[in-house]
Amino acid sequence: MGPPHAETRTHDFTIDCSRTVHSLPITKTARRTDSMTAAVTRKKLIEVSIPLEAINRESAREKSIRHGHPSTLHLWWARRPLAACRAVLFAQFVDDPSACPEEFPTAELQKAERDRLHRLIERLVPWEASTNETILTEARYEIARSVARGRGEILPTLAQMKPKAIIDYLQKNAPAVYDPFSGGGSIPLEAQRLGLKAMGSDLNPVAVLIGKALIEFPPKFAGRKPVNPEVNELHQWKGAQGLADDVRYYGRWMRAEAEKRIGHLYPRVKLSDGKTDATVVAWLWARTVSSPDPRAKGAHVPLASSFMLSAKAGKEVIVRPVDRAKMTWTFEIDDKPSKTDIEAAKEGTVNRRGGVCLLTGAPMPFTHIRTEGKAGRIGVRLMAIVAEGQTGRVYLPPDEKHVKIAQAPPPDLPELEQDLPNNPRDFKTPNYGMSQWKDLFTSRQLWH
């Protein structure tokens, strides 16, 4: 296994939903001739008005939805709400009635049609509509109508067209949707949901992986049975059910295999009752550096942007460094902090301006921190352990047993003993002495 790629390149994923076009009794209008190849561009609904109140309401509501929501697949920064993307894409494709005077010659008729389209959007944006084929088919038909209108064609009525025929028409005739920086994949996902061809790309490989898992693979393997050895041959596999069954099966296998290989490096922890063993969710570490203040006598102090463990109102938990008066410190958990303690915990000991010595309050400029790092004198200290409790997360103080296990000697991995790329825009770690790939991991993380 070689080191991760050092190049910056565009990673692409393409969603190809092409199908054989269903034969449709499409009428050509007098405005179009066979020699015309370019579609007529009309003013779109989004250029005039959209029901913002409904879109904003459903976009905000979407944040509280977890079960089945794509956001649970993988965390991504600034993920666009699906409701907003669905509405915007619909309004970008659908003609505004004012652009169709031959169908809506008066202002009253145009307003009535615009109101009808707004009501459709209001039914389209709720989370529940994302799997409602009746509403989705109606939305796809409106898009297809506008595409046909621009091509000088008239589609049969919604009642006369089968859902698949509408999608077939969109796949053949509608412009494709391309999101060059697709991130969490919201835009191509909603384009796909509306029956459109969708493509996406991103510079970040994680975003590409999200896009492939969310948008490319499900339709690619739709209707196929699983390949795992426990497959039920008699079951009728619809949609992505077969793919989902394989993901669950091989996910369980990988978890069991990981437990067998490296489970001893990730022990359970005793809760405060001294009896209950709990699964650890996270070990929270702080890097340490020697204080430049002579009063600290060279003591290492933590570099932490915050000492907050839980910021939920009424349930705040902080890490409290203690014994600073004795020019030494350890970490304790405080689950009933005062408002003053909470504000102090939010400050931490390092920010964009530099660090602060925990023991004396003296400033620690980045020049000092970088010098110590390049000399190999930056250390680490366990701040807290986060475990799964019966009613939620439990925060525990550092445990010496867990510290020793985490700091066990790493394996010999010469392929990671290579220099990081010299890219000052993105790779700041060499400034702090972390100049090789292996330096980006803890000793425990190097075991696999």
At 265 the pLDDT is 94
| One domain for residues 299 and 172 | no
Q: What is the pLDDT of residues 306-326, one digit of tens each?
A: 999 999 999 999 999 878 777
| One domain for residues 55 and 200 | yes
The answer to the question of residue 159 being in a domain is yes
Q: What is the pLDDT of residues 390-422, one digit of tens each?
A: 888 999 999 999 999 998 899 999 999 999 887
Q: What percent of the chain has pLDDT over 90?
A: 77
Q: What is the pLDDT of residues 220-244, one digit of tens each?
A: 999 999 999 998 887 889 889 999 9
Determine the average pLDDT of the residues in 203-217. Answer: 94
At 39 the pLDDT is 60
The answer to the question of residue 148 being in a domain is yes
| One domain for residues 300 and 320 | yes
- Give residue 30's pLDDT band: very low, low, confident or very high (50, 70, 90): very low
The answer to the question of residue 123 being in a domain is yes
Q: Which of 23-27, 111-115, 147-151, 283-287 has the lowest mean pLDDT?
A: 23-27
| One domain for residues 176 and 78 | yes
The answer to the question of residue 3 being in a domain is no
CA distances for 92 relative to 26, 342, 435, angstroms: 23, 47, 48
Determine the average pLDDT of the residues in 274-290. Answer: 93
Domain boundary among 220, 236, 253: 220
Determine the average pLDDT of the residues in 262-290. Answer: 92
- Give residue 372's pLDDT band: very low, low, confident or very high (50, 70, 90): very high
Q: At what angle do helices 133-150 and 163-173 cross, to 10 degrees?
A: 40
Q: Which of 213-222, 271-280, 332-341 has the lowest mean pLDDT?
A: 271-280
At 27 the pLDDT is 64
At 215 the pLDDT is 92
CA distances for 215 relative to 7, 144, 186, angstroms: 25, 22, 9
The answer to the question of residue 226 being in a domain is no
Mean pLDDT of the chain: 89
| One domain for residues 305 and 445 | no
Domain count along the chain: 3
Among 142, 118, 140, CA closest to 53: 118
At 236 the pLDDT is 87
- Give residue 10's pLDDT band: very low, low, confident or very high (50, 70, 90): very low
Sheet of 393-396, strand order? 300-303, 280-290, 379-388, 393-396
List, in sequence order, every beta strand (DSSP E) within 247-391.
269-270, 277-278, 280-290, 300-303, 308-310, 317-322, 330-334, 350-351, 354-356, 363-364, 379-388
The answer to whether 369 and 274 are in contact (CB under 8 A) is no
| One domain for residues 70 and 184 | yes
% helix, strand, coil for the chain, step of 5:
40, 15, 45
The answer to the question of residue 129 being in a domain is yes
* 277-278 and 280-290 strand pairing: unpaired
| One domain for residues 336 and 204 | no
Domain residues for the domain of 342 are 269-407
pLDDT beyond 60 at 79: yes
* Through-space distance between the first and last CA atoms of the chain, rounded to whole angstroms: 12
At 18 the pLDDT is 38
Enclosing H/E stretch for 27:
strand 27-28
| One domain for residues 362 and 424 | no
pLDDT beyond 50 at 91: yes
| One domain for residues 25 and 131 | yes
| One domain for residues 109 and 73 | yes
At 24 the pLDDT is 52
At 104 the pLDDT is 97
| One domain for residues 421 and 302 | no
pLDDT beyond 90 at 8: no
Determine the average pLDDT of the residues in 82-102. Answer: 98
The answer to the question of residue 119 being in a domain is yes
Determine the average pLDDT of the residues in 45-60. Answer: 97
pLDDT beyond 70 at 2: no
The answer to the question of residue 229 being in a domain is no
| One domain for residues 387 and 319 | yes
